[in-house]
A and B are shown apart, each in its own frame.
Chain A
Amino acid sequence: MPTIKIPAPLRPYADGQRALILPGRNVAEILEEIVTLYPELKKHLYGDDTQLRPFVNLFLGDENIKELQGLDTPLTEGDIILIIPSIAGG
């Protein structure tokens, strides 16, 4: 099963976990698994329109899934998905 790694700001909503091994044939499915397991995560990952929030990025290894097949990017045994926030300000 693939692994999904959680950045520090989201760990309080995931029982303090840094990483979880979860089933998922693609990125959308592993995200569904993690928000089912930890429903509090959902509002931090998704906006009201059920789209991923703009500052939420997902990487498969070192590749942004936007450059792959987005949420349909297939996952295989041993893949690592990282949730990475964008940071900005002024």
Chain B
Amino acid sequence: MSINIPAKLLIEIHTSGETAYPEEGAGLMLGYEQNGVRYIQSLLKLENAREDSARYNRYLITAEDMLQGELEADRLGLSIVGIFHSHPDHPNIPSENDREWAIPWYSYLITSIQAGQALESKSWRLADDRSHFIPEKVIINSNI
């Protein structure tokens, strides 16, 4: 269980989190799965749709934005394989709120942003029984 992400896309995710700081930023990862590895091919950066007062520790991707993501993925011959979001001044581990709202199967890539600077990203998948997240390996592909 792992995701393979081009270095340039990971940098875009970090920049997106830094730009959104001190609020949470979020978006979609488009790609495909082969032999248990998810290959990220494209990103769709989205507005955090939560109300102003909650965006510092919550994010929301509306159904309408997800629809646009599905249509874009279809156009590219890909699928939405995961969601990325940032944790301003918090570690890159899922919160209880993340667990409550997560959907099994998707990869959840979380980036810790400390004092406006992106640190490491980690990826997680929700267990089928929704009880906890399982870490998945992040392979950074520097050749693309």
B103 within 8 A of A: yes
B118 part of interface (Cβ distance < 8 Å): no
The distance in angstroms between the C-alpha atoms of A7 and B106, with both chains bound, is 10
Known contacts A89-B85, A90-B24, A90-B95; is-contact A9 B66 (Cβ 8 Å): no
* Contact residues on B (Cβ < 8 Å of other chain), bracket: 20 to 34
User: Which of B66, B70, B104, B108 touches A89 (beta carbons < 8 Å)?
Assistant: B108
> Are A88's CB and B70's CB within 8 A?
no
Report which residue of A8, A62, A84 has the largest number of chain B beta carbons within 10 angstroms of its beta carbon. A8
B32 smallest CB distance to A (angstroms): 10
Interface residues, chain B, with chain A CB atoms under 8 Å away: 24, 26, 50, 57-64, 66-67, 70, 79-81, 83, 85, 94-95, 97-98, 101-106, 108
Closest 6 CB pairs of A and B: A90-B97, A9-B105, A57-B63, A89-B98, A87-B61, A90-B58
